[in-house]
């Protein structure tokens, strides 16, 4: 007979898993059947809130290996020598859809990587796009509402989306990427990943540079066409999840090369745009890609819920030698993610297997729901104390900022902050080929045809102005396909 007894959650062996205890063979169920109670009670507590964005996703463990020396830029221990490596956990996701939504929806894709390093867990929580729709965290909830559902009908709405974009021309760059075939990647293996924001690196001599992170896929870029993406929604809504799981199961481990772009403090002052504006890229010919290392995904977590659903990534998980920048979106995110984790997973989410730092954690936080004492055991829970040897280290002081103003900047803008058109125009003319441009136009037209209601013409006209300002040909093609009469103001007029 097998030793593996059926037990309840307290390890108590029991006999009958299928029939409830009753008063006689056909009598009512007894309150004393604590196995029945435990199973029903646990079942109704199986769900936690889904992520408010990026709810549908998949994840895998793997390894990151440093292949090139960037120690002149950062004192992060991971990058101290070529050949260093660390375990990683990566979660990919769509953004707007719910937990059960289709993987091939037109949407940016989340690309979040947790590096378990000796300096602590470092999270790079990016997307498959180098830019974002907005550049101030204050706009994020409103923007996301337009990607979700109409409060009254609970339906998705192209009208809401284009209404918002047409009022926020800084979104144009990302809208063009979203509406290109990059908006429907062929699963998660065939796309690049970007830290998107400007971060900073600080070296041993306490010198700081600004940095952007890029993961380039080694599987080559591959996208669905609009029609194939729509078809796949019906055939296999979990296409991207299955594609990643199958590749790893077959030993066909997906890989990405990590690169950085570096901008010095002096270059930042000379840069044509705000270097901390997440709606802008840094051109590669001015700020070339510097190779850093390789990421490989090679292990499917043993349990999806425990590892993927409960994983918590935060842009504020930055380690010594890698820091943030004054990017307004990034600054908002530093607050919002740990806040979301405390609500979605709980005050001790950092103690779960996928989130916990495998190296020393020494602090005085204790208790709360689901506290697990295995890291701190019986150590004191207050500072200072006479018993432990834990001391703050001056080596970890924050970089001292030179602030360029001493007043609260409410709505001030600099020259070129409102240039929302030059980079989208260059994306259209220089980065896209003829097929990309044709698909872009037809994808935009398909989406804008969904704009309905009394404000339809107003929204379309406002958005067309932005396309015209980025590139006249782009504006003309969309206007003609939508059968809009081109107003003479359209090419010169903008909302802001």
| Residue of 21, 39, 53, 456 that binds ligand HEM (CB under 6 A) | 53
Nearer to ligand HEM, 313 or 468 (CB): 313
Smallest gap from Cβ 98 to ligand HEM, in A, equals 13
Smallest gap from Cβ 52 to ligand HEM, in A, equals 5
Position 336 contacts ligand HEM (CB under 6 A): yes
List residues bridging with 125 in a β-sheet: 112
Nearer to ligand HEM, 127 or 471 (CB): 127
| Residue of 337, 376, 421, 428 that binds ligand HEM (CB under 6 A) | 337
Phi, psi angles (nearest 5°) of residue 67? -110, -15
Nearer to ligand HEM, 184 or 196 (CB): 196
Nearer to ligand HEM, 113 or 202 (CB): 113
Position 379 contacts ligand HEM (CB under 6 A): no
Smallest gap from Cβ 97 to ligand HEM, in A, equals 13
Is 40 in a helix, a strand, or coil? helix
| Residue of 127, 159, 168, 257 that binds ligand HEM (CB under 6 A) | 127
- Token look-up 């690169």 returns 259
Closest CA to 355 of 372, 330, 367: 372
Nearer to ligand HEM, 298 or 336 (CB): 336
User: How many whole angstroms separate alpha carbon 259 and alpha carbon 289?
Assistant: 6
User: How many whole angstroms separate alpha carbon 123 and alpha carbon 432?
Assistant: 31
Closest CA to 123 of 65, 210, 199, 191: 199
Which uninterrupted H or E stretch holds 340? helix 328-344
Position 112 contacts ligand HEM (CB under 6 A): yes
Smallest gap from Cβ 194 to ligand HEM, in A, equals 7
**Positions marked catalytic:** 54, 127
Position 344 contacts ligand HEM (CB under 6 A): yes
Binding mask 130-149 for ligand HEM (x = CB under 6 A): --x----x--x---------
Phi, psi angles (nearest 5°) of residue 217? -65, 140
Is 326 in a helix, a strand, or coil? coil
Neighbours of 49 (CB within 10 A): 11
| Residue of 56, 75, 91, 462 that binds ligand HEM (CB under 6 A) | 91
User: How many whole angstroms separate alpha carbon 156 and alpha carbon 158?
Assistant: 7
| Residue of 94, 121, 184, 196 that binds ligand HEM (CB under 6 A) | 196
Residue range at the interface with ligand HEM (CB under 6 A); choices 221-229, 325-333, 407-415, 481-489 = 325-333
Ranked by CB distance to ligand HEM, the top (closest) residue is 110
User: CB–CB of 455/159 below 8 Å?
Assistant: yes
Rg (CA), the chain: 26
Binding mask 248-287 for ligand HEM (x = CB under 6 A): ------------------------------x---------
Residue range at the interface with ligand HEM (CB under 6 A); choices 285-293, 308-316, 358-366, 428-436 = 308-316
Residue range at the interface with ligand HEM (CB under 6 A); choices 124-132, 217-225, 238-246, 443-451 = 124-132
- Token look-up 């499917």 returns 300
Nearer to ligand HEM, 147 or 443 (CB): 147
Smallest gap from Cβ 35 to ligand HEM, in A, equals 34
User: How many whole angstroms separate alpha carbon 351 and alpha carbon 444?
Assistant: 45
User: How many whole angstroms separate alpha carbon 412 and alpha carbon 403?
Assistant: 15
| Residue of 191, 202, 229, 329 that binds ligand HEM (CB under 6 A) | 329
- Token look-up 């591959």 returns 222
Q: How many residues bind ligand HEM (CB under 6 A)?
A: 28
Position 125 contacts ligand HEM (CB under 6 A): yes
| Residue of 173, 333, 420, 477 that binds ligand HEM (CB under 6 A) | 333
Calculate the alpha carbon distances from 158 to 104, 146, 465 in Å: 17, 8, 18
Position 311 contacts ligand HEM (CB under 6 A): yes
Enter the DSSP assignment of 486: P
Give the 3-state secondary structure of 81-134.
Answer: CCCCEEEEEEEEEECCCCCCCCCCCCCCEEEEEEEEECCEEEEEEEECCCCCCC
Residue range at the interface with ligand HEM (CB under 6 A); choices 3-11, 45-53, 406-414, 455-463 = 45-53
User: How many whole angstroms separate alpha carbon 92 and alpha carbon 125?
Assistant: 10
In this structure, what token pair is assigned to residue 42?
């646990």
User: How many whole angstroms separate alpha carbon 129 and alpha carbon 196?
Assistant: 7
Task: Name the site residues for ligand HEM (rule: CB under 6 A).
Answer: 51-54, 57, 91, 93, 110, 112, 125-127, 132, 137, 140, 196, 278, 311-313, 329, 332-333, 336-337, 340-341, 344
């Amino acid at each position: 007979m097998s030793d593996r007894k059926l037990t309840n959650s307290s390890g108590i062996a029991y006999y009958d898993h299928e029939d409830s205890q009753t008063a006689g063979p056909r009598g009512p169920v007894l309150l004393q059947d604590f196995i029945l109670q435990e199973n029903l009670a646990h079942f109704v507590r199986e769900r936690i809130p889904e992520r408010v964005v990026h709810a549908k996703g998949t994840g895998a463990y793997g390894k990151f290996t440093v292949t090139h020396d960037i120690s002149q830029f950062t004192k992060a221990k991971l990058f101290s020598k070529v050949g260093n490596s660390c375990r990683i956990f990566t979660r990919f996701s769509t953004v707007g859809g719910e937990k059960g939504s289709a993987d091939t929806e037109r949407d940016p894709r989340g690309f979040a990587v947790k590096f378990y390093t000796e300096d602590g867990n470092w999270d790079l929580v990016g997307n498959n796009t180098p830019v974002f729709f907005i550049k101030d965290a204050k706009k994020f909830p409103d923007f996301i509402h337009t990607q979700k559902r109409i409060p009254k009908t609970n339906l998705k709405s192209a009208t809401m989306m284009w209404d918002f974009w047409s009022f926020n021309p800084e979104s144009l760059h990302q809208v063009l990427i979203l509406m290109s075939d990059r908006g429907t990647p062929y699963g998660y293996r065939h796309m690049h990943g970007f830290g998107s924001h400007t971060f900073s690196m600080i070296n041993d001599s306490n010198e700081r540079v600004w940095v952007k992170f890029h993961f380039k896929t080694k599987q080559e870029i591959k996208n669905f066409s609009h029609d194939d993406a729509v078809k796949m929604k019906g055939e296999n809504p979990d296409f991207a999840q299955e594609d990643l799981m199958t590749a790893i199961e077959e030993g066909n481990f997906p890989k990405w090369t990590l690169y950085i772009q570096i901008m010095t403090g002096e270059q930042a002052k000379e840069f044509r745009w705000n270097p901390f504006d997440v709606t802008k890229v840094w051109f590669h010919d001015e700020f070339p890609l510097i190779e850093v290392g390789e990421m490989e995904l090679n292990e499917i977590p043993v349990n999806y819920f425990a590892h993927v659903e409960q994983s918590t990534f935060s842009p504020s998980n930055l380690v010594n030698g890698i820091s943030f920048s004054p990017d307004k979106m990034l600054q908002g995110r530093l607050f919002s993610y740990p806040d979301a984790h405390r609500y979605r997973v709980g005050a001790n989410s950092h103690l779960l297997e996928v989130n916990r730092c495998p190296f020393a954690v020494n602090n005085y936080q204790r208790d709360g729901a689901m506290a697990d004492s295995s890291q701190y055991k019986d150590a004191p829970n207050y500072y200072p104390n006479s018993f432990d040897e834990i001391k703050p280290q001056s080596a970890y002081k924050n970089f001292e900022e030179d602030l360029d103003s001493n007043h609260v900047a409410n709505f001030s803008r600099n020259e070129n902050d409102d240039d929302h058109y030059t980079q989208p125009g260059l994306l259209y003319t220089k980065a896209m080929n003829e097929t990309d441009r044709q698909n872009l136009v037809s994808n935009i037209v398909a989406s804008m045809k969904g704009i309905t209601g009394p404000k339809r013409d107003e929204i379309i006209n406002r958005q067309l102005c932005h396309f015209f300002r980025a590139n006249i040909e782009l504006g003309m093609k969309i206007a003609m396909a939508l059968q809009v009469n081109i107003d003479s103001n359209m090419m010169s007029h903008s909302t802001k």
